Amino acid sequence: MRLMLVLVAALSLTASSCTGEPAPELKLDPASLTVSGISSGGYMAVQYHVAHSRSVAGAGIIAAGPWYCAEASLARALGSCMQGDPAPDAAALAAAARDAARNGAIDDVAGLATDKVWVFHGSRDAVVTRPVTDALVGFYRAFLPEGSIRYETGVPAAHGFPTLDEGIACGTTSEPWLNDCDYDAAGTLLQQLYGPLEPRGKAMDGNLRVLEQARYAPGGTLPSMEALGYVYVPTRCARGAACRIHVAFHGCRQGTSFVGKAFVRKAGYNEWAETNDIVVLYPQAASSLVMPLNPQGCWDYWGYTGPGYATRNGAQVATVEKMLKALGL
């Protein structure tokens, strides 16, 4: 598979035989919520950030473009929002966000003003091109001061999540979409969003818990999401310490039915989470061969779950919000 986002082949949905559990009730700082994601997960992180800007403090985005980039069009999603042909119109999409806020579909965009944003484009990424991430930065500049945005473009990474030493060669695009670039994207983005952190430590396998996502789906029907998701609960957080909360969205073909737990275990978040009391929620999108058609297991950034996909009422946005509330937000 050459492209993480292109919908090309029909793939079988692998059903999990595991069982999950309700979200653990934790002591979470309500002002600490941040989000991040890669590719379609990057778009999902932007959508959640903009839709809930009053409660989200920042976003880290790898290989994705502005909020509502596809404007509910698959053709636009695969063209403008991936290849940048034409480049997304950042000013028009910022205006659309203002309109959505006035109509009550998303939070007031004034909620973005104090947030922090980190954007990454690998210099060898031919799947999502530089004009797309340029447009994302342009979109955020409409709402945030320049000093609150960090834009990294100098790492020779292909389309994938850059890590210190996990995954495939840095300039290669393939499963599991983790790129060994000697670059700690997880740690870098978390420090942009939270400020200086304690050094990364050792992640504890037993601290990765399985959640039943269906408990939190609107109407009990999962919107192209797996039955199970994951949450990393650091040792001190499990013992009752007050902790921060971060949501990490995987990319297309990077969920558990495609690459197992590679993203949730090896992207690098958990090592920072353990030493800095950051709970990390890993929602899981699912492949679907019927309505909605989503064979690559992408997060919805073009409208397959409905026209309100990028708003507070979007099915996936609403499911993740309920998961966070169950965790203690």
pLDDT at residue 19, rounded to an integer? 62
Of residues 40, 53, 121, 125, which has the active-site annotation? Answer: 125
Span 112-126, average pLDDT: 98
Summarised one tens digit per residue, pLDDT across range 160-197 is 999 999 999 999 999 999 999 999 999 999 999 999 99
CB 237 within 8 A of CB 277: yes
Pairing assessment for the beta strands 228-232 and 208-212 based on DSSP bridges: antiparallel
- Give residue for tokens 């957080």: 237
Of residues 49, 52, 121, 159, which has the active-site annotation? Answer: 159
Question: Catalytic residue at 52?
Answer: no
Residues of the chain with pLDDT > 70, as a percent, come to 94
Of the two residues 46 and 5, the one the predictor is more confident about is 46
Q: What is the gyration radius of the CA atoms in the chain, in angstroms?
A: 18
CB 207 within 8 A of CB 19: no
Of residues 32, 36, 39, 287, which has the active-site annotation? Answer: 39
pLDDT at 8 over 50: no
pLDDT at residue 224, rounded to an integer? 94
pLDDT at residue 91, rounded to an integer? 98
pLDDT at residue 49, rounded to an integer? 98
Of the two residues 154 and 292, the one the predictor is more confident about is 154
Q: What is the C-alpha separation between 127 and 231, in angstroms, rounded?
A: 29
Question: Catalytic residue at 180?
Answer: no
Question: Catalytic residue at 159?
Answer: yes
